[in-house]
Amino acid sequence: MNRIFSGVQPTGDLHLGNYLGAIRNFVGLQADFECIYCVVDMHAITVWQDPKQLAPHTREVAAAFLASGIDPANSIIFNQSQVTAHAELAWVFNCVARMGWLNRMTQFKEKAGNHRENASVGLYVYPNLMAADILAYKATHVPVGEDQKQHLELTRDIAIKFNNDFETDFFPVVEPLIFGEATRVMSLRDGSKKMSKSDPSEYSRINLTDGADDIAGKIRKAKTDPEELPGPDALAEDGIHVDDEAAKARPEAFNLLSIYAALSGQSIAVTLDQFAGAQFSAFKGQLADLSVEKLGPIGAEMQRLMADPGHVDGILHDGAERAAAIAEPVIRDVHEIVGFLR
């Protein structure tokens, strides 16, 4: 049976990258899969989180799931720390994964920067907890943005090594689902950097709770280049993707065009055709209108939901109970496979 699992960290300020790279894809998958969507609060505390903010930030992610169209009656929505299976399985995986594997993780290197000795141990073993999130439910498919690809390869390596070491075929080898026209949304201020909540400039990202004026203002100020917008001759030979060299030469232009394509639900090829030779000023006006039209209602619904914390908390409790019911037998089997006395 196919099962989807994915997670989003409650570190505040959900942005357009989270939406287009992940959350929007979560919504569509509900039609074909059993889906489990998790607010990963245990991952969040691998870097410092103000305890007063963690619960509101957790509700913010849950509200984004709901406002985007995830149906809690069918899909499971919960926060990670309410289901003990994640921590339990992560410990076993800490003993399966190798130091050499974790040393290769680019996200750790980026986040720890030059202060590796000062990074939390949790940040280092973060990918093992991620593998535990997914495999505690024996999920088979994981929708994420492109930046999580390496972590999912590690999840596959852990499943394969566990199965080999214990001579079993217990864990599935998961498939990443990275799709849509905006799998890597870049900063609006610098097309070579990923759109991220850790960027100090508010103008680098559109937050899901931004109002219409903020959205339009950020798009108006977005960095561009002096040329007219590119057309279909920027496509690669497949006629579907943008040519790598073309994208590298004009990162800001292609980032804005991909955002337009993703929000409008049309392909990048059609979008290039539509705006070929246009001036940025005219294009930005249309991108701002489209962004307000698509994101405005989601932001408003999030605000409404966040004003009723009891309702959101109830959904998370219910989801946690349903999640635990799936994970508990898996953990029992793992204990038996490993040889723990019960």
Q: Encode 76-115: b = buried (16+ Cβ within 10 Å), e = exposed.
A: bbbbbbbbebbebbbebbeebbeeebbeebeebeebbeee
Chain residues binding ligand TYM by CB under 6 A are: 5-9, 17-18, 21-22, 40, 43, 130, 133-134, 142, 144-145, 147-148, 151, 183-185, 194-195
CA distances from 258 to 4, 126, 201, 254, 293 (A): 26, 30, 21, 6, 17
User: Is residue 149 annotated as a catalytic residue, yes or no?
Assistant: no
Check: CB of residue 150 under 8 Å from CB of residue 105.
yes
Q: What ranges in 23-75 are assigned the alpha helix state H?
A: 24-29, 41-44, 51-68
Q: Least distance (Å) from ligand TYM to the CB of residue 102?
A: 14
Q: Least distance (Å) from ligand TYM to the CB of residue 269?
A: 20
Q: Look at residue 297 and give its three-state secondary structure.
A: helix
Check: CB of residue 278 under 8 Å from CB of residue 228.
yes
User: Is residue 109 annotated as a catalytic residue, yes or no?
Assistant: no
- 138, 194, 218, 294: which one is catalytic? 194
Closer residue to ligand TYM (CB): 112 or 232: 112
Q: Least distance (Å) from ligand TYM to the CB of residue 313?
A: 20
Closer residue to ligand TYM (CB): 163 or 196: 196
Closer residue to ligand TYM (CB): 112 or 276: 112
Q: Least distance (Å) from ligand TYM to the CB of residue 56?
A: 16
**Of all residues in this chain, which one has the CB nearest to ligand TYM in the complex?**
21
Q: Least distance (Å) from ligand TYM to the CB of residue 233?
A: 26
CA distances from 298 to 20, 178, 211, 222 (A): 13, 22, 10, 22
User: Is residue 197 annotated as a catalytic residue, yes or no?
Assistant: yes
The three-point CA angle 294-298-299 to 5° equals 110
- 52, 193, 197, 248: which one is catalytic? 197
Closer residue to ligand TYM (CB): 5 or 65: 5
CA distances from 46 to 18, 82, 299 (A): 19, 17, 27
Closer residue to ligand TYM (CB): 128 or 224: 128
Check: CB of residue 219 under 8 Å from CB of residue 252.
no
The alpha carbon of residue 244 and the mean position of all alpha carbons in its chain are separated, in whole angstroms, by: 23
Q: Least distance (Å) from ligand TYM to the CB of residue 282?
A: 26
Closer residue to ligand TYM (CB): 248 or 336: 248
CA distances from 73 to 54, 164, 309, 318 (A): 25, 37, 18, 10
Catalytic residues: 111, 194, 197
